[in-house]
Structure 1
Amino acid sequence: MEDPKSKWQTTTIDQWYGQKNEKVELLSGISIRYKSRMPPVPNRWVLIRDPQGQFNTVALLCTDLEIDALEIVRFFIQRWTVEVTFEEVRKHLGVESQRQWFDLAIARSTPILLPLFSSVTLWADQSDQEESLKRNEMK
């Protein structure tokens, strides 16, 4: 049930799941999180919803009460790209699920996999940008 007194703020997010300039609505507030035998922790919560209803409402929490809702959303977006990168590294390079049989082989190969993946990704991005420039010059 939605509270009619809630004041959703409409804003535009630069990058939202690959979409540029996506309009979303934000609602934010402060709550207290309790955990058994632990001191209470204040949190700033942010709800993100799509006015067109194309994606589910997302809830975010932050323990820094000084950060505003939009900045929390930006932090989430930045983190998401890192999470996707690590998932790709696990999936395609086998990091965290090494296929070698010996600890020494794992110790030798694992430290090089992420820098190698990063180098290839940067090279591919640079190559794509150069091709894009060439296409624009031809027009």
Structure 2
Amino acid sequence: MAERPTTSWREEIAEEERELAAGTLDPECVCMAALFPEALLVATEEVLDAFEQALLGISEVVDAYVFAAVERVVLALNAVNEAHGGSAFETDEREALCAYIDEALTEHGVDVVALTARHGLGQYQLTDRWRDW
């Protein structure tokens, strides 16, 4: 199963906490918990839960169904981003979220490269139409 970006974000927070507790990290260098507050992680996970449920509901790979699921997840992530000051998802986070969406679709039988090509999009443009983050 595609690994959610929130999993690695939580791991990075935990690693930073371990290093701080061990005294191997300067307290002034602690940043992960501030970058990924619990409310952001929970909201993002709720959006990804809904996306995964939507994919389970797609019994047949039809472009319109796939695009509808992608639109819903991207718009919901836009709302999460906006609720967190409009800068919750920076470059690395955007790339991780887009990669997760592509991987989840692929696991559900969607050929993302073929899908985007059929619609005149580049391979990495699947979310661009709706994405604000």
TM-score (norm 2): 0.32
Which structure has more RCO (C-alpha within 8 Å, separation ≥ 6)? 2
Based on CA coordinates, which of the two structures has the bigger radius of gyration?
A: 1
Q: Which has the higher strand share?
A: 1
